[in-house]
């Protein structure tokens, strides 16, 4: 605030100086022109205060009104004597009053000073602001319109039962404090991607009208040591100032990985951030209405200190959805959509075995998109209705198998995967489930994939073993025929995905 006031005053002063300069320039200009005899008459009448002579132009200033006019002529000796007798001051040369002189000489300097000060203050403000912002938490405060309730969560009945205690604590902490109970302040949601961990956390905030801070654990860690710890402190301080509050840390394993698992400054920064997170979790008082909810799909790599009592000691595993859970989720995502009476969500729930909540939401959305496209092509003005065929088509499109001969960018193999190569030249013939025959030389194989170099594709193709019906050795080692290509526990290289 003080800096803004100083800047405003400087700009106001600069504007005032410019205005005074313009006024002074205007005052230097005579108002009107008079003939030389009229000038002599004013001198004889004693009306002239001073004259300024520049070449053959004479600027005249009158006594009473301080008016100025100019005339053309030459002051000879007789005229100069008359002016002297009447007490008229005579100036020669370029006319410069004091104000004009000061402004003309100081204005350039003032402009330079203001520009330099502005640039310097801007740089200082940007530098300090960037440093300050760099250390601030990147957690996003989610508004009321983005939160949810337990009614918006299909399935996950066990998880909702456990979280009901958290909701009741945030609503009425006195009941718990009076009873001397210590409610777990850290809740860890475990489950595969898309199973509804974030939705459950938002539902807790929505049920309690709590402030909801959402942040990814990877946003804490930067290349500069100490930044992550500062961001953790800033996040918890913000949440403590506005209770009740829910802090949701997504992908907790990004910062909560076991300490000592790596070397280098990046690991030092991550471990410092983890240490600060542990300290902040311990810093809660019994009456603090702040709950931390973490989400991860790799609970096996978390540091043990995170999971001890008093921190993330309430672990909720979100498993696969049952048929009834999938039906409930489909009903939630079908709200507000014009469904035909023929749509049987129970049948769709049976078809979508293994689908997560996110996949079911996407399936519903794809079915609606297909219905809109169909309605657009028919040019019908009737309301767009989603029918069962739209769901079936969306389901078929989402579960289409990828050809084993495509470039398998989606077949990612972790660096810990171990691969073996044949001891000699091995040429095999593969018959796939769909009947396609592939013949080529074995490059490598692991537990789930095999790579062949074929005549059509010297770079090689990767075939999932699950799509192979039969395999027969044509040339070379017979181990290929028995599919006895086992992972080499001492292999130091990984498959090529070229």
Sorted by where each begins, the domain ranges of the chain are 2-98, 140-317, 323-398, 402-498
pLDDT confidence band for 203 (50 / 70 / 90): confident
Q: What percent of the chain has pLDDT over 70?
A: 69
| 257 has a pLDDT exceeding 70 | yes
Percent of the chain at pLDDT > 90 equals 0
Give tens-digit pLDDT for 239-253: 888 878 888 888 888
Using alpha carbons only, what angle is made at residue 240 by residues 238 and 243, rounded to the nearest 5 degrees? 110
Global pTM?
0.53
Distance, CA of 256 to CA of 278 (rounded, Å) = 10
Architecture per CATH, 402-498: Roll (2.30)
Residue among 212, 219, 211, 192 nearest 295 (CA): 192
pLDDT of res. 123:
60
Q: In which band, very low, low, confident or very high, does the pLDDT at 384 lie, cut at 50, 70 and 90?
A: confident
Residue 271, pLDDT above cutoff 60 = yes
493 or 113: whose pLDDT is higher?
113
Task: Among 3.90.226.10, 3.40.50.300, 3.40.50.1460, 3.90.180.10, name the CATH number for the domain at 140-317.
Answer: 3.40.50.300
Over residues 223-231, mean pLDDT: 71
pLDDT computed for residue 129 by the predictor: 47
- Split at pLDDT 50, 70, 90, the class of 492 is very low
Kindly state the average pLDDT of the residues 283-294: 73
Q: What is the pLDDT of residues 260-270, one digit of tens each?
A: 665 554 556 77
Cα–Cα distance, 83 to 40 (Å, whole number): 9
Q: What is the pLDDT of residue 103?
A: 63
Average pLDDT in the chain: 73
Is it the case that residue 89 has pLDDT exceeding 50? yes
Residues 401-437: tens digit of each pLDDT: 444 444 333 333 332 334 445 555 778 888 888 888 8
> C-alpha angle with apex 112: 111 to 116, nearest 5 degrees?
120
pLDDT digits (tens, 9 = 90+) for 30-72: 567 788 888 888 888 888 888 888 878 888 888 776 678 878 8
Domain 2-98 class, CATH top level: alpha beta
- pLDDT beyond 70 at 209: yes
- Structural fold of domain 323-398: Helicase, Ruva Protein; domain 3 (1.10.8)
Q: What is the pLDDT of residue 486?
A: 40
Residue 450 has pLDDT above 80, yes or no: yes
Question: Matching CATH topology for 2-98 and 402-498?
Answer: no
């Amino acid at each position: 605030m003080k800096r803004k006031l100083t800047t405003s005053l400087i700009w106001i002063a600069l504007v005032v100086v410019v205005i005074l300069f313009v006024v002074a320039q205007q005052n230097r200009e005579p108002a009107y022109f008079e003939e030389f005899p009229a000038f002599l008459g004013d001198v004889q009448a004693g009306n002239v205060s001073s004259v300024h002579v520049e070449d053959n132009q004479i600027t005249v200033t009158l006594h009473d009104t301080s008016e100025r006019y100019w005339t053309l002529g030459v002051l000879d000796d007789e005229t100069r004597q008359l002016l002297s007798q009447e007490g008229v001051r005579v100036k020669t040369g370029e006319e410069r009053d004091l104000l004009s002189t000061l402004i003309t000489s100081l204005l350039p300097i003032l402009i330079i000073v203001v520009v330099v000060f502005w640039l310097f203050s801007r740089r200082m403000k940007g530098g300090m602001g960037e440093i300050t912002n760099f250390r601030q938490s990147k957690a996003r405060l989610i508004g009321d319109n983005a939160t949810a309730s337990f009614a918006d969560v299909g399935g996950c009945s066990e998880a909702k039962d456990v979280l009901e205690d958290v909701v009741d604590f945030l609503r009425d902490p006195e009941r718990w404090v009076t009873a001397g109970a210590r409610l777990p302040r850290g809740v860890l949601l475990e489950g595969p991607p898309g199973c509804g961990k974030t939705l459950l956390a938002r539902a807790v905030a929505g049920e309690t009208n709590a402030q909801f801070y959402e942040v990814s654990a990877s946003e804490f860690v930067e290349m500069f040591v100490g930044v992550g710890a500062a961001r953790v402190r800033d996040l918890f301080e913000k949440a403590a100032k506005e209770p009740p509050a829910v802090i949701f840390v997504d992908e907790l394993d990004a910062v909560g990985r076991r300490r000592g698992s790596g070397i280098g400054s990046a690991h030092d920064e991550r471990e410092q951030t983890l240490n600060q997170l542990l300290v902040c979790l311990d810093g809660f008082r019994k009456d603090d209405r702040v709950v931390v909810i973490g989400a991860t799909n790799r609970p096996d790599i978390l540091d043990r200190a995170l999971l001890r009592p008093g921190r993330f000691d309430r672990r909720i595993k979100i498993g696969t959805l049952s048929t009834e859970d999938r039906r409930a989720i489909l009903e939630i995502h079908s709200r507000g959509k014009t469904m035909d009476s023929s749509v049987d969500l129970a049948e769709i729930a049976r078809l979508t075995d293994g689908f997560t909540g996110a996949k079911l939401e996407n399936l519903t959305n794809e079915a609606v998109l297909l219905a809109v496209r169909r309605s657009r092509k028919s040019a019908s003005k009737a309301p767009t209705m989603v029918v069962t065929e739209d769901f079936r088509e969306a389901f078929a499109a989402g579960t289409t198998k990828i050809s084993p001969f495509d470039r398998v960018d989606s077949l990612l193999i972790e660096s810990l995967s171990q691969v073996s190569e044949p001891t000699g030249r091995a040429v095999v013939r593969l018959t796939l489930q769909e009947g396609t025959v592939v013949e080529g030389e074995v490059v490598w194989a692991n537990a789930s994939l095999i790579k062949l170099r074929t005549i059509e594709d010297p770079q090689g193709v990767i075939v999932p073993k699950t799509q192979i019906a039969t395999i027969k050795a044509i040339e070379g080692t017979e181990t290929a025929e028995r599919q006895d290509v086992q992972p080499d526990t001492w292999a130091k290289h990984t498959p090529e995905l070229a």
